[in-house]
Structure 1
Amino acid sequence: MNAEIRMQEPDPVGLRHGPLWTYTIALLASAAALVVSFALSAETLQLARHPGSKLACDVNSRLSCSSVALSWQSELVRFGDLSLPNAFLGIAAESVFVTLSVLGLARVRLPAWLSRCTWLGSLAALAYSYWLLSQSLFVIRALCPWCLGLMAATTIQFMAFTHATVTVQGLPRPEGRWSALSAFLRRSYRLGFDLMVDVVWLVVLTVVILAMDGSAFL
């Protein structure tokens, strides 16, 4: 049955579907997100040491890191009166993603449970960055340049890990109750539909941000 399914829906082949390409993109995106997390942590410490100071990324009233950093949305994890800035969690999470990307480049076939957790972790990072973007656009009414960079990095990171999970790690399996989903994903990657989805996704994000706060960049 497994061989029959694979004959009906061949695996995507070529450099773009292999570990070198997919995990290189994942590594670059994760490394960029890690750098942004370090920068956000440094800005958070700067505000803690010098309250009311102007940060380097405070461009204007609408493009301001400090406005976002001083909001409750920037510190979701709390222990009584103590709170942990989200940027610190980003450093821990993105360090793990960088490590997993390096393992992928080394052609280490990860256990299925770890591959699933990696994909779910990248989805969680994506959901958080988009939630923070929505809060910045509609609640805080200010955009953080570093947060925009984090959103872009986590978007590409999610795309890369999804690609690697399907084409390199072979998940979901082509047999069992997820066989239809597996066939659909493999066909989409084999025919290059993912490229169209990725481009449209990034263009829509850019258009939404510019439509809401395009004047802040002028």
Structure 2
Amino acid sequence: MSRQNTADTAGIKPKRAFEPQQSTTLCANREPKGFFHGHIWNYGVMLVAATVGLFTSFILAAETLKLARTPDKPLSCDVNSVLSCSDVAKSWQAEIIRFGDLRFPNAFFGIAVYSVFITVAVVGLCGVKLPRWFSICTWFGGLFAFCYSYWLASQSMFAIKALCPWCMAMMFATTIMFMALSHATVTVQGIPQNRNVLNMYYRMHYDWMADMVWIVVVLTLIFVKEGAAIFA
């Protein structure tokens, strides 16, 4: 009796040499490992980006106060008809939050928001496992900041027809901050629970490719639409 027949007779199922479905599942379930998926890299990038956002918020707040004191004088970032902080600061989009006659410039809220994200980044750098509810709320807060910054950028380009250099810097800082936060939420905090696709996305470094393509597309759109006036 052959060896195969003996195994069949004993009720033992022969082990297959290759099982593609099981191999794919195990590959998808693998958690991303390494420095670029850890808390030091992701929260470090988030900290740097949030610090840049906080710095630009302080500058915009100072420029807003300067404009209020001397409305007839140009600001330091008024380069030409396209690169003009004054035109953006005088628009209604620059003061979304209003309570009656009280109007609050967006830069003041930027100081508060970026301070919160800096705090989260510092806590994450310490290797602290954040509560699940807090990580989810932080991610949605980052998503809101991301969407809000691009809404303001679209208003500047297509409605106000003027670009604020500091606002553009804040937009890109928010982009990098949110992407680093999303990476940390998945690979460090382990959210969501069923993250097979996200594990493969980050483990194969597709996020780097998506980040670079996104930023290049936005820069290309800006230069295609306003490049002639910017470099005039």
Q: TM-score range by the shorter chain?
A: over 0.9
Cα offset, 1:154, TM superposition:
0.3
Query: Which protein is bigger by CA-based radius of gyration?
Result: 2
The alignment status of 1:126 with 2:183, answered yes or no, reads no
Residue type of the alignment partner of 1:50: T
Aligned to 2:202: 189
Cα offset, 1:6, TM superposition:
7.2
C-alpha separation between the residues in 1 aligned to 2:43 and 2:162?
33
The alignment status of 1:43 with 2:56, answered yes or no, reads no
Which has the higher mean CA deviation after the structures are superposed, 145-154 or 7-16? 7-16
Cα offset, 1:217, TM superposition:
2.7
Aligned to 2:136: 116
TM-score, length of structure 1 as denominator length: 0.93
Residue type of the alignment partner of 1:31: T
Aligned to 2:114: 94
* Distance 1:49-1:8 versus aligned 2 partners, 3 A rule: closer
Q: 1:143 aligns with which of 142, 163, 171?
A: 163
Structure 2 counterpart SS, 1:214:
helix
- Contact 2:56/2:170, CA 8 A, preserved across alignment: yes
Aligned to 2:184: 164
Which has the higher mean CA deviation after the structures are superposed, 90-99 or 207-216? 207-216
Cα RMSD (Å): 1.2
Which has the higher mean CA deviation after the structures are superposed, 6-15 or 184-193? 6-15
Cα offset, 1:132, TM superposition:
0.6
Equivalent pairs: percent with the same residue? 54
- Contact 2:50/2:177, CA 8 A, preserved across alignment: yes
Moved over 6 A (4+): none
- Contact 2:60/2:166, CA 8 A, preserved across alignment: yes
Aligned to 1:103: 123
Unpaired stretches in structure 2, ≥5 consecutive residues = 1-24
The alignment status of 1:201 with 2:219, answered yes or no, reads no
The alignment status of 1:216 with 2:232, answered yes or no, reads no
The alignment status of 1:55 with 2:75, answered yes or no, reads yes
Aligned to 1:152: 172
* Distance 1:191-1:8 versus aligned 2 partners, 3 A rule: closer
Structure 2 counterpart SS, 1:142:
coil
Residue type of the alignment partner of 2:75: L
TM-score, length of structure 2 as denominator length: 0.87
Unpaired stretches in structure 1, ≥5 consecutive residues = 174-178
C-alpha separation between the residues in 1 aligned to 2:130 and 2:122?
12
Residue type of the alignment partner of 2:216: V
* Distance 1:149-1:42 versus aligned 2 partners, 3 A rule: same
Say how many residue pairs are matched.
207
